[in-house]
Structure formats: structure tokens, C-alpha cells
Amino acid sequence: MRQWSTPSVAPPIQVSPYPYESFESFILRVAEYNAFDSASATLRALGAHCGNPSRYCYKHLSPLLGIEPASLAAMIPTAVDGDLHLLGNQLLRDRHIVRHASRFCPLCVSERGYGALEWSLAPFAVCAEHGAYLVDRCACRPRTPLNMFRNRYFTCICGADLRSAAVLPASSAACNLAKEIRRRFRQELEEELGSVFPKLTTWPEDAQFGDFLDLMICLGNLAVSTR
């Protein structure tokens, strides 16, 4: 059960979210700028006593963080009907969203200092900017996925700087696919796809973004099963 308390003072330093920034990245930047020990400490100070923040609490958090409710809401999945959720203005199923693990591109975080919202999409495995596979764990615990409740966005609980994590280059096909997933998720203007994915140029007009993700998940499962 979620419980709320009203903090007497909002964080003294206000942090503005970047376009399509993930909630994990944003709340850890709030923690860093306001000298909180972690995301958990930040949420407690804000009166949000919930282990897994959801959009149910954005009306409480937005005035304290000094941002519009809609901006905060877009970063956090909210249940619409059954396992249907709204994230970044897209209707998605539970299977489309990675909830309990962190994934990010060390190169992006080094250059920009924040993480992208689309990295939480289940089929999104490659950075669309740098063509490298996303990092989801530290060498200190290679079998344990990272989560948002570490001290800093770019620091593991062991103290390692995750911006220095080794990156694995992806194939050109995987890079093209990552760019297309990002474009559709952000609803950006149509771009010409490379010859690697000629069939996607005839994707049905009435198909939803979730249908596209289902296709990507299916193709990924087929690729794994044939290895």
C-alpha cells in the first residue's frame, strides 16, 4: 500500500527533465543536485513511500519538483486497462516495458549526463546514437541487473563508474532497428529505412506501436532459438 506524507520543504535545487528522459535518470539527477544519498532517499524526502514509483504519484510529486504534471507523467508507466499502460504517449503492454532493471548507453551518459526513456522498452537493446549494446549490469555482479535504487545514475553500488563500462558494438542491422524503434516511439517524422528492413516500409497504417514491438520481440525470440 502506498502512503504519503507532506514534506515541509521541496528540494532547494529544481531540476528540469530533458525531452524523453527516463524517470530513473531524472530522479537520480534530482538526488545528485540536492545531495541526497540515493533515489530512495529522494523519494522519501518528497513523501513518496513507494518501492516502484508509478504515475499514481505524479500529482503529488510534480509541484514539489517544480515541473508540469504532464512532463512527469510521461516518464512513468500508468495502468489504463488490465496490462495496458501509457508511457511517453504510447499505449504499451507489460511485456513491452522493462520495469525492474536499468539499461543505458555509457557513451550517451558521458556526453549528455542523462538517460533516454526508450531504453526501458523491452526490444530496445542498442543505442540508436552510438550503435552499441546497452549496459544493464556491472562487472562486480554480472548476473544481477542494475536497478534505479543506486546512489548515482552513472555509479554502481560498488562505486564503479558505469560510464567507463565496456561497450559492445552492434551490427548495422541492429542499429537501424534501434533507430526505427526510437522514431516510432517518439512519433518523429518518417525517414527512409535502409535496405536491411525493406518490409517495414509497408507496415499497415492502422497498426499500433505496441504491434511493432510485438513483431520485434517475436523476431528476437526466433533469432535466439535458431542459435
Q: Is 70 exceeded by the pLDDT of residue 221?
A: no
Query: What are the tens digits of pLDDT across the range 121-159?
Result: 988 999 999 999 999 999 999 999 998 888 899 999 899
The pTM is what?
Answer: 0.83
Q: To the nearest whole percent, how much of the chain has pLDDT over 90?
A: 40
Q: What is the 3-state secondary structure (H, E, C) of the chain?
A: CCEECCCCCCCCCCCCCCCCECHHHHHHHHHHHCCCCCHHHHHHHCCEECCCCCHHHHHHHHHHHCCCHHHHHCCCCEEEECCEEEECCEEEEHHHECCCCCCECHHHHHHHCCCEHHHHECCCCECCCCCEECECCCCCCCCCCCCCCCCECCECCCCCEHHHCCCCECCHHHHHHHHHHHHHHHCCCCCCCCCCCHHHHHCCCCCCHHHHHHHHHHHHHHHHHCC
Q: Average per-residue pLDDT in the chain?
A: 82
pLDDT of residue 202: 61
Q: What is the percent of the chain where pLDDT is above 70? A: 81
pLDDT in tens, 34-44: 999 988 888 88
